[in-house]
Structure 1
Amino acid sequence: MASKAASEAPAGGAAGAPDPRLPGETAADRAPERYPVAEPGGKYLAPGVAGAAKILVVGPLGVGKTTLIGTVSEIRPLSTEALMTRAGARVDTRGGRTKTTTTVALDFGRITLDGDLVLYLFGTPGQQRFLPAWRDLAKGALGALALVDTRDPAASFDALGNLEDLDLPFAVAVNAFPGSPVHSEDDLRVALDLLPSTPLVSCDARDARSSVLALIALVRHLVHAATESS
């Protein structure tokens, strides 16, 4: 379903062109087969692209936002991960003991669906204290994918409440962590206080196919909502 831009060239660019790699970055780091770099003068998007949409990926700390964007992005994703400080660790208690970094500004990636629709994915910081930055990122967004961890569904209440306050359409994706409790859809809808019209799907943020399907569920919801309001 997702397709890479046909006109993008491998890292290193055309003959005689400047090396597009970042300072200190090696060809192996760039992984050109995964994250192509546009050839100088070339197009970043495939010729058949007909539209684009800004989409937020939201959820609490450690729910898998950075992982999902990195999994589906057809370009090298931008991530603003920073080491968690001792002061932050006292209040950022989610994510398990192995969680040593956190998004402090945004994650960014891009995916093309069906060759003609580009989604620009903006991952928000998970902590509520970053709400001012969160709201700035929401400007111009058409919708959001909200990730939920069934080991702690209540941790998602802030993110879902923010989306409702902004009147931003969203779909909910339950990220399948190893050992996560399994609940029925009805129970999850009650626990998360979701409207019947809000899509609720399962995904594995590490798996490209299931993550793309979650995004497709959101796009279908946005199309239906736009059709209903027109």
Structure 2
Amino acid sequence: MAYATSEDFGMPELGEVEVVKLLVAGGFGVGKTTLVGTISEITPLRTEERLTDIGYEVDDLTGVEGKSTTTVALDFGRITLSPRVVLYLFGTPGQDRFWFMWRELSVGALGAVVLVDTRRMQDSFAAVDFFESRNIPFIIGVNCFDGADIYDEDEIRAALDIGAHIPIQLCDVRHRESVKLLLVRLVEHLMLQAASEITSHW
């Protein structure tokens, strides 16, 4: 297998393996680490640390009171689609103080899943703004937490203030099939975006 730097992710490897870099983003405790771990064919790379008393003073644990660890840099997983196509998944850290990592992780990314917890919808605004401002295609994955209210697509779209062209997919990131469907939806969205851009240049 060919190797690549972070700048190379998302670009075809020279006649060997095409690496597609995708991001999994969203607020604190929304399920990014779980998603990567659920779908990755390898033991995922995680940079989790235990929450400390100092962290409890700055992190909003409303709705995730039982959370004891947090990602401080990234999560990384891999999915082989074929002998020539490999997906690299990068999960971003969720807390405000680690958002400087997002800029580096986004280099070379073809698209992203923005995970949403409907109990804390406002925590997703920053991720939506980040990808919109950088013209990185993304879809919304609504992680269906136990006991959380279920809203229809129009309500979610209005709450996030996103256009009709951005797909919204309900999911449970604890289940592999659900994550697979979410990633398929993202890849389909990327293909439509690419076709649209080609057409607009004719």
Taking structure 2 as the reference length, the TM-score comes to 0.86
Where relative contact order (Cα < 8 A, 6+ residues apart) is larger, the structure is 2
> 1:140-171, CA deviations, whole angstroms, 9 ceiling, x for partnerless residues?
10110110001111111011111112211101
Q: Which runs of 5+ in 1 are unaligned?
A: 6-48
> 1:166-221, CA deviations, whole angstroms, 9 ceiling, x for partnerless residues?
21110110001000101111111000111111010011110000101101100110
User: Structure 1 residues 218 and 115, CA, compared in 2 at 3 Å: closer, same or farther?
Assistant: farther
Instruction: Return 86-95 or 213-222, whichever deviates more.
Output: 86-95
3-state secondary structure, aligned to 1:151: helix
3-state secondary structure, aligned to 2:99: helix
Of the candidates 38, 58, 62, which is equivalent to residue 25 of structure 2?
A: 58
**Letter of the structure 2 residue corresponding to residue 100 of structure 1:** S
User: Structure 1 residues 203 and 116, CA, compared in 2 at 3 Å: closer, same or farther?
Assistant: farther
Residues 68-87 of structure 1: matches in 2 within 5 Å? Answer: 68-87=35-54
Aligned partners of 1:147 and 1:175 also within 8 Å: yes
Taking structure 1 as the reference length, the TM-score comes to 0.76
**2:93 corresponds to 1:93:** no
What do you get for the CA RMSD once the two structures are aligned? 1.6
Offset, 1:116: 5.1
Distance 1:92 1:74 in 2: 31
**Letter of the structure 1 residue corresponding to residue 146 of structure 2:** P
**2:79 corresponds to 1:111:** yes
Q: How many residues align?
A: 183
Aligned partners of 1:128 and 1:158 also within 8 Å: no
Distance 2:52 2:127 in 1: 23
Q: Which runs of 5+ in 2 are unaligned?
A: 2-15
Partner of 2:129: 161
Residue identity over aligned pairs, in percent, reads 50
Offset, 1:114: 6.0
Offset, 1:113: 3.2
Higher Rg of the two aligned structures: 1
Of the candidates 121, 133, 140, which is equivalent to residue 101 of structure 2?
A: 133
